[in-house]
Amino acid sequence: MIRTLRFLLGDQLSRSMSSMDGLDPGRDVVVMAEVGAEATYVRHHKKKIAFLFSAMRHFAEELRAEGVTVDYVRFGEARGPRTLGEALQRAVERHRPDRVVVTEAGEWRLLQAMRDWAETLPCPVEIREDTRFHCSTGDFAEWAETRKGELRMEFFYREMRRRTGYLMRGDRPEGGAWNLDRENRRPLPADIDVPRRPRFEPDATTRTVIDLVAANFPQHFGDLEPFDHPVTRSDALTLLDWFVEHALPLFGDYQDAMRTGEPLLFHSHLSALINCGLLLPAECCRRAEDAYHSGHAPLNAVEGFIRQIVGWREYVRGIYWWKMPAYATANALGADRPLPWFFWSGETDMNCLAQAIGETKANAYAHHIQRLMVIGNFCLLAGLDPREVQEWYLVVYHDAYEWVEMPNVVGMILFADGGLMASKPYAASGSYIDRMSDYCGACRFDVKKRHGPDACPFNYLYWDFLARHRERLGGNRRMRMMYATLDRMKDDDLADMRRSAAAFLSDPR
């Protein structure tokens, strides 16, 4: 008789999941399912669907090789389940277990569904905490309630460093400073070569999944091939090893840099693997920390990498669960402009956006500065509707799940939460992009011009944004210099820029 059904979601591909604790291979069954509802509730990038379906199938085979019984439902099976709830209900009917064990879902809508399962299934459902994170949602809420309006990642990050012990010397941070972000902003010199990355050629399982996605999701965003993502635990560890050895040493200096034709530069490209469970956050941090202590990688690189994982990643998850479901509809700046079509086509005269969106379309990935200071900056300055922007970011990136995507868009990119997360909007003119990339030299717009048909749209959109939101943002102490500059402008110059902004936004291209 089956004692326990252990239901694993597609972003829970780890033997270390809490739902797998106490697994008895002789009496338990692991249930996994590829269902249409999860692939289509937004039109996910084709590469993301292929990545997750392939990773799920490989993980199921690894469990079977351990002697674990896996009840696996493949997408497209005759009369197959449409939703995860339906898949679980059918599994319960087949196996008649004493109980069901799951790890809490990472997205609000799925956790609500899990709680419904506990009410409707004929056996108990145990929902366990996701122990891959260092900070539970309850611990974060308790911390947040004590901050009295100063809910900044930096304060949370310091708590996480103390809790984990990463890069600590007793009670003090390694090197004397908690955050070396100022050492992470160097433009990439033309004579620095980018290291060659390992490629992971599709095996028979992955090739079958690629064909399935091509046949069933042809209208979804993005390019499906070439496909060379790691989809197994072994390949994920290979990429982690490569990153620490070859890219981490220069990651710190150039993590904010951008170069045409080089979408990854020195970035790890591990986020999708961490978010789906093939890598664990703690093991990635430990490997980077070991590289520092051995003298292989400098402190600014290792601290920057660890900050992304135990600082930012944990922080946005905490915000998400603390503020949902109301957080999804936040729109403090009253933005309501629809998403321009070039977000889907990649066809725009603005070279920086063409590069960042084009790489997103090809790879289901763009690094954090492309997401924040190119694509996101445009969304903020143009006043794009937060719900449309949220959906776009959820659709296009293979590491995107609502818990990580929504706070980044609502709080960091759009300032739509009114400053809960960020102390000021991340708004910038074209000069920032020019400084951190080689994009502007090949653009038809002139980054030195502030208005007119040949001026960089980021320039006049930036000043129009500040003028438009003076009442809301003018008193922000971190924006005093910007508004002081605005106040010194000649009225005619500002009027010309605002006319240029209005003309562009009436037909953005």
Instruction: Report which of 112, 106, 166 is spatially closest to residue 137, judged by C-alpha positions.
Output: 106
**Mean pLDDT of all residues in 152-169:** 95
In this structure, the answer to whether residues 422 and 318 fall within a common structural domain is no
In this structure, the answer to whether residues 376 and 458 fall within a common structural domain is yes
In this structure, the answer to whether residues 360 and 266 fall within a common structural domain is no
| CA distance readout (Å), 239 to 24, 264, 289, 369 | 31, 13, 17, 22
Residue 181, pLDDT score: 86
Residue 30, pLDDT score: 98
Residue 148, pLDDT score: 73
Q: What is the mean pLDDT of the chain?
A: 96
**Mean pLDDT of all residues in 236-264:** 97
The burial class, CB within 10 Å (0-12 / 13-18 / 19+), for 163 is middle
Q: Which amino acid is at 368?
A: H
Any domain includes 213: no
Where does residue 45 fall: left (phi above 0), alpha (psi -120 to 50 degrees), or beta otherwise? beta
In this structure, the answer to whether residues 262 and 399 fall within a common structural domain is no
Confidence of residue 275 (pLDDT cuts 50, 70, 90): very high
Q: What pLDDT digit, counting tens, does each position of 15-29 carry?
A: 999 999 999 999 999
In this structure, the answer to whether residues 361 and 470 fall within a common structural domain is yes
Any domain includes 492: yes
In this structure, the answer to whether residues 166 and 92 fall within a common structural domain is no
Residue 183, pLDDT score: 84
Cα 251 to Cα 195: distance, rounded to the nearest angstrom: 11
DSSP string over 168-214:
EETTEEGGG-S--GGGS-----TTPPPPPPP-----HHHHHHHHHHH
Any domain includes 214: no
What lies within 8 Å, CB to CB, of 392 at 6+ separation is 339, 343
CATH of the domain at 10: 3.40.50.620
Any domain includes 210: no
**Mean pLDDT of all residues in 210-239:** 97
CATH of the domain at 280: 1.25.40.80
CATH of the domain at 397: 1.10.579.10
Q: Which range has the worst mean pLDDT, 12-21, 90-99, 182-191, 261-270?
A: 182-191
Structure tokens at 123: 């056996």
Residue 255: which domain range?
A: 137-198+230-322
Q: What pLDDT digit, counting tens, does each position of 293-325 carry?
A: 999 999 999 999 999 999 999 999 999 999 999
For 79, other C-beta atoms within 10 Å of its C-beta total 5
Q: Look at residue 337 and give its three-state secondary structure.
A: strand
In this structure, the answer to whether residues 476 and 355 fall within a common structural domain is yes
In this structure, the answer to whether residues 303 and 169 fall within a common structural domain is yes
**Mean pLDDT of all residues in 255-269:** 96
Domain count, the chain: 3
Residue 297, pLDDT score: 97
Cα 131 to Cα 108: distance, rounded to the nearest angstrom: 17
Confidence of residue 151 (pLDDT cuts 50, 70, 90): confident
Residue 149, pLDDT score: 65
| CA distance readout (Å), 300 to 180, 188, 291, 335 | 6, 16, 12, 37
Q: What pLDDT digit, counting tens, does each position of 426-465 carry?
A: 999 999 999 999 999 999 999 999 999 999 999 999 999 9
Q: What pLDDT digit, counting tens, does each position of 319-361 carry?
A: 999 999 999 999 999 999 999 999 999 999 999 999 999 999 9
| CA distance readout (Å), 489 to 177, 205, 424, 458, 463 | 38, 62, 22, 17, 10
Any domain includes 317: yes
In this structure, the answer to whether residues 184 and 261 fall within a common structural domain is yes
For residue 242, give the DSSP letter.
H
Any domain includes 225: no
Cα 398 to Cα 278: distance, rounded to the nearest angstrom: 14
Residue 77, pLDDT score: 86
In this structure, the answer to whether residues 142 and 119 fall within a common structural domain is no
Residue 1, pLDDT score: 65
Q: Which range has the worst mean pLDDT, 225-234, 275-284, 485-494?
A: 485-494
In this structure, the answer to whether residues 302 and 409 fall within a common structural domain is no
Instruction: Report which of 17, 90, 30 is spatially closest to residue 60, judged by C-alpha positions.
Output: 30
Cα 402 to Cα 408: distance, rounded to the nearest angstrom: 10
Confidence of residue 509 (pLDDT cuts 50, 70, 90): confident
Residue where the block lists tokens 């499906």: 224
Any domain includes 163: yes
Numbers of helices and strands, H then E, in the chain: 24, 7
In this structure, the answer to whether residues 292 and 354 fall within a common structural domain is no
- Which of 287, 322, 357 delimits the end of a domain? 322
